Amino acid sequence: MDDYEKLLERARSSLPEKTASGERFEPPAAETFMQGSKTVIKNFEAICVKIRREPAMLSKYLSKELAIPGTIEGSRLILHGKFYDRVINEKLATFISKYVICKECNRPDTKISEGVHGIRTLVCDACGARSPVK
């Protein structure tokens, strides 16, 4: 093992707790490109799979935050406006901290449960915490 690998090893062992699935959660980043007056998130489906949220929920959130319509096309999301990936990734990070990460244990092993009157609750599979989400 060379020094670089040792460094990597040390960096890994000092990382925060692992998720229930045994993997460390790394918030996904959106890969985007502009196409004319639109912005395409090309790994949209992969992001949704990773954070275990419905594509419709994330696309609705982004449309609302960016104040433009969005269309899901296969595994991509087409945003009907021009945005730098930095802007989209900021929104994505906010979405993840609000709707994915458990407020108690900071793990991403959560789900959204929708109750009567459309009241949504973030339920953590790891620690059982429940917190209301808007």
Q: Residue numbers of the site for Zn ion (CB under 5 A)?
A: 102, 104-105, 124, 126-127, 129
Nearer to Zn ion, 87 or 105 (CB): 105
Q: Is 116 exposed, middle or buried (0-12, 13-18, 19+ CB in 10 A)?
A: exposed
Cβ–Cβ < 8 Å for 56, 99: no
Nearer to Zn ion, 112 or 129 (CB): 129
Nearer to Zn ion, 46 or 129 (CB): 129
CA dihedral 114, 119, 124, 125 (to 10 degrees): -20
Nearer to Zn ion, 19 or 43 (CB): 19
Q: How far is the CB of 109 from Zn ion (least distance, A)?
A: 7
| Residue 90, both tokens | 């900021």
Return d(Cα 88, Cα 14) in angstroms, integer.
29
Query: What single letter denotes the amino acid at residue 62?
Result: L
Q: How far is the CB of 100 from Zn ion (least distance, A)?
A: 11
Q: How far is the CB of 91 from Zn ion (least distance, A)?
A: 23
Q: How far is the CB of 25 from Zn ion (least distance, A)?
A: 12
Return d(Cα 122, Cα 113) in angstroms, integer.
6
